[in-house]
Structure 1
Amino acid sequence: MAYSANEHSIIWAWSNNTTRPAGAYGVALPTSNTQWTVPAGNVLGVDEGRFWIEDGLAAGDTRQVRFQSYDDLGQSNPSAYSPAIVGTTIGGDVPAIDEQPKSVTVFGGTAATFSVRAHSQRGETLSYQWFYLDIASITDTDKGKANYAEWKPVVGETGPDYAIDAADTLWNGKLFCVDVMDRTVNASGVVPTVRSQPARLGVEQTSAIADPDAAAATLRMVPTITLELTPTDGSTIVQHRDEFFVPYGCTFDMTFTVMDAAGDPCLGRITLSRHTYKNGSHKVGTSKDLALTNGLHTLQGDYPASDPSSSYWPLTPSGDDGPRVFEVEARLSLDSPTVTKVLPINEYFIINYGVVLPERAAHLLTCDTEGLLPGGPTYALTKHMPLPSIAPAMVGAQFDGWFTDADLANPFEPPFASGPGQTTVYSAWSQNEYAVSYELDGGTNSTDNPATLMNDSTTVTLRDPSKEGYAFEGWFADSSFSQPVTAIPRGATGDISLYAKWRLIEYPLFYFAGIGKNPAGNPTSHTVLDGELPIAPPTFEGAKAGTNAWYADSLFTQKAPGSIPAGSIGDEAFYGYADFAQQEPEPGSSDPAQPKLLAKTGDQGPLHFLAVAAVTAGAALAASLGFRGKGGDR
């Protein structure tokens, strides 16, 4: 993300929280011939910081960078360049604040008003949004803040004046500020916006003095605490109001200045504490008291790298001593005579030590395409960062814009006033319908195969059609069956024709004539295309005339037809039987002395039977198995 800290600097920040964390990153800059290159000084190890400062720019300047990741500082195994990220410094066309909000002190329960006066340098009507500094997040475990101090919008306060009807003493010391904005984007694609200086609300207990003027004279004013970081190693430190961007490992001095409302120095001391937060957990370093001399105190040689024990500059709650964000808390205690004129307050500053936390500095904009496009990109947008071109492209479909609700009722339109938080936008599409035709060659299609597809159709796994007497051998994209197709990919882009390939099934015929003979002319197989095929009865030597016949079952209970009807499908088995002159037990006798005529022995081919020779009723069986042909004993 690009973070515009002031009118002459852009902070380029990135995260290493990925599925494949890098060992180093490079910040690529455009060259004169529209190419990109990573200068040697732009390669940073992940333990050396995750932001890069581009300084010395002019107000409203726009710059682009791309990122590249590596396995190490030697730039081995480089990734492809990321998309270009555009950043813009705070422009010279931002609204001009003619009168900053002023700090006020009131008695509890009485009204307080903050006001700002500004004008647009582009001749536009201005918009406003008031904010308060939230420092009240408390956890149950350590009774400390679970998150960094954060500016949050005052809901509904969108005018130049912010009136509080009855101030609560619990609000004593609370800070307020206001964003002043034009209503349209400028040539850089951002809405010119300026934030006011913070103003503080002081709330005293209700006075016992009856005379209002006399009571007002006893009100103590709120002071101003400022912090200056001075690098001592030649590094560049960028400040944006109460936020500092400090390169990892930088050495610096810290100077605190405390003045009252009249600009006079305050007497007393500052108790300094430094905090870090991660995943809702909090860690604080050892406190240090700083005595004020003429309202000033400079702390020399006190920086994270000077504190290997991490006593004053704490590690993160997870024990990380690399780049991290500190919240510096300065608690003011006052000495006489200042104590009678000034309210004690707490002030907070943020030091981004080699890293910027996106959730603190940016608004996360997630683009939900409902699975139509991979990724569902999330953009970290900061103030004065142009809104990226987030219109997706999908072949064959018309993108109809982003919406802030899943029902696509509320369009997402600029200006987009980014600030810490998260927004999901949803894509709308005009869908095209495409026909899917199936060349079945007499077959019947599966009802699961679609007749039409849309641009947002999911992947379709094709089902098998059916055709009596044929085996399906697959779908093909061409009539010559050279391009097999098993599925239609998601996101159709045109009409589709599919061709079914078939193989004619040859069904075997099995004859079991025992000691008899299967006539040589009987067919041994058939297909659905064959006409009627006559089946001649078996012959048995010595059998009674007219009793030789084929049966459809091995128990000889049902005679088989004398032919295979035209267009028949399926395997057929024929069992030969005849009566002889001597008296024999009836076929299928349950007499245990009689052997079984036929027993199935298991599949060893298309169909295998074992014929058990038995002399019953003058009949005996032996197996005869054959394949397609019209002659010979089988």
Structure 2
Amino acid sequence: MAGGGGDEKLTVSFVDGDSELSNVDIDKNSYVTEPAAPTKEGYIFAGWYSDSACTKEFDFKNTKITENTKIYAKFVANDEKFTVSFNTNGGSSIASQTINAGEKVTKPADPTKANNKFAGWYCDSALTQPYDFSSQVLSSFTLYAKWTAESGTYTVTFNSNGGSAVPAQTVKAGEKAVKPANPTKSGYSFSGWYSDASLITQYDFNSAVNADITLCAKWTSNGGGGGGGPVTPTTYTVTFCNNNETYATVSGITSGTSLGDKMP
């Protein structure tokens, strides 16, 4: 037994239920030394406790003996089974395990959680005591997942609609995409990046990125041909003839226009 106190002697009794296993006399305000684990046929020793109900483990390193004290041995039957549950704290679910007394928990595959990195299993909900998977299971309990937050990343893809290629960007969650240099397309002028394939909503590069997105280029024709944006309409000149003689011409007629009100 560890010593260092006064002259007064106290008795520490190690008991199993009402039966004394051993007694130790020590100085008051000293620390008692943990004895060898007792044995009991058909049972597994499960530790020393400060109460007869065996709910509070006795702390040999930090508990001074200030009065005559009983310390209780806990035993569990060899054939008893316990349930170990996993609280993933918002991560993917992990099934509970039924463990025979004295056996070990099988460490499950790590759970997952968006924008978080799994940081281990803990015995307490405050996440202060890591669980040792090499220890025997001698009661039912819950393990708690610890997470370390990490920023998610998203991909911003640029569809240049037939223009020069623009590299995709990887952007951290909540941050902004960098507006790239304008792409080029023969016969067209670049008219901006749009968040929809219909080229209705122009993209605001001051907005935060919180998902994978594709931006589409809009183009304006420089004078003919179409695709990728508004196109300047092609105009035609219509000639009116009578008996192979031209008697009128009308310019500026666009495709699809009715000639009814254009007749001279």
* TM-score (ref. length: structure 2): 0.39
Q: Which has the higher contact order (CA 8 A, sep 6+)?
A: 2
- Larger-gyration structure (1/2): 1
